[in-house]
Chains A and B, each alone.
Chain A
């Protein structure tokens, strides 16, 4: 499988304000995106996702590191020939209609008028803007602008599509449409690279992800590789237990929470499967009934929190060590 996007040790420091204060936006972004895959770049706000995307698309020059798009070095005009890009919260020429906008971008790609017209008709239909075709973009809602942005990113049928927060500003229907569109692109053999903090959407469509924290890629791989395989905890919804049983369950290693108030249903949370099964037997022994059983596995959100905590601990350890030195 060939690599369509490569980022190797990309780093960027911005200088802001009157005193040109240094702000490190990116320390080390290293990852590859393969052909025909949907690759997600995730991380909290300020992690360096947008800076990474801007470097890859030629908007920002890196201070260090290198990268390539479809075999061409980043920053070169050739690298952007087969690239479609949707910026975060896109802005367009507000006096144009969506059709005029797409004609303009098609012209930039050297497409003939007939070719453009055919593609524009298809895309406007696909992104669901047929009803607003003749409306100037200044009258578009945020979600509609996002759809227009997706259409412009796909105008020349690119091989690689880079999307920065494509679901932001969209309602649930819009988000589902974008997710479907990304899946469709994968089916068509395109490669999609997108940054997002809407984790359920990433989980739904990504083949692989890179996790970023503090300007650094801290993990790259399939979700199954990154997420812990073991059960995080076991939730048991029990009924018919008296309050006198509570110490027994707590002694076993289960937390106890009244769901419907005292005497009603109880949520028991066990730390592992073994304790969970023992708790279930105990429920039955005490004359209660089990209404629900759930083994909770790690999700992207948990991974996110785990990475954030380990980063914080790492930073604290480093500052502690340097303080002691």
Chain B
């Protein structure tokens, strides 16, 4: 019970820190503006502007979630170390794993709230136009959240041993490779250079499969996803997130706070 309270305290504090951050406020405002601007972009399209609005809206939400996941994730531990706020936490009866998990849960809560707010604006845009807020949009939003959490976990691993800038670059790299994973695999199969093909395939084992989280075509054409596929993808991201957190804990537990 006390473990849960400690976890909640650390998570709540991380969440409070994030929501009081002015950069996050600016990102939210920009996302609201982008989602609303999809109305104008849709109006410019030659036909089926509802499809364009859905497509644009979901893309903007995705962009916001990934940005917040990387931006907050890379500073999650490094800011604590740079500002030395960690000194007053790890000297209390808090195991290092609990600190990492608590921080990550706070970040996940931030991602959830950010995505919820932008999604609400998106829903208002759709409803105001008289279009249906179809189930596939909800499915897509669920996949997006789990993708954001996974990327935040990747950022946490990098943040446990490197600077925020380097962590940001590395996490963004993982995100891009994750999105291109399917294409890279196909490319590797066509390659004549066996060593390079093996290397790319090997990378594919480590890099998360983020193509699973993409549902933009389904959203644009309102083709519902199979819920068992959504459940599988969420379980996959949860497992990947868990492995990342274990890795971050292992690295962080060995550190001296000088």
Chain A residues within 8 Å of B, Cβ to Cβ? 14, 54, 57-61, 77-78, 80-81, 83, 85, 87, 90-93, 95-96, 100, 104-105, 107-110, 149, 152
Contacts and interface: CB of A to CB of B under 8 A. Distances in A.
Given A54-B258, A95-B21, 11 more contacts: A59-B256, A77-B94, A90-B84, A92-B85, A93-B17, A93-B85, A95-B16, A104-B13, A108-B93, A108-B94, A110-B1
A59 B257 contact: yes
Interface of B: 1-2, 5-6, 8-10, 12-13, 16-17, 20-21, 83-85, 87-95, 256-258
A78 B92 CA distance: 9
A108 B2 CA distance: 8
A283 B221 CA distance: 110
A60 B91 contact: no
Given A93-B13, A108-B9, A80 B91 contact: yes
Given A60-B257, A95-B20, A90 B91 contact: no
22 contacts: A14-B256, A14-B258, A58-B90, A59-B91, A60-B256, A77-B94, A77-B95, A78-B93, A80-B91, A87-B84, A87-B87, A91-B87, A93-B17, A96-B16, A100-B16, A104-B13, A107-B6, A107-B8, A108-B10, A108-B89, A108-B92, A108-B93
Q: With a 10 A CB-CB cut-off, give which of B83, B90, B94, B256 has the most chain A CB atoms.
A: B256
Given A95-B16, A110-B5, A90 B87 contact: yes
A57 B86 CA distance: 12
Q: With a 10 A CB-CB cut-off, give which of A57, A83, A93 has the most chain B CB atoms.
A: A93
Contact of B93 (A80, A91, A100): A80
Contacts of B12: 104, 107
A109 B84 contact: no
Nearest to B4: A110
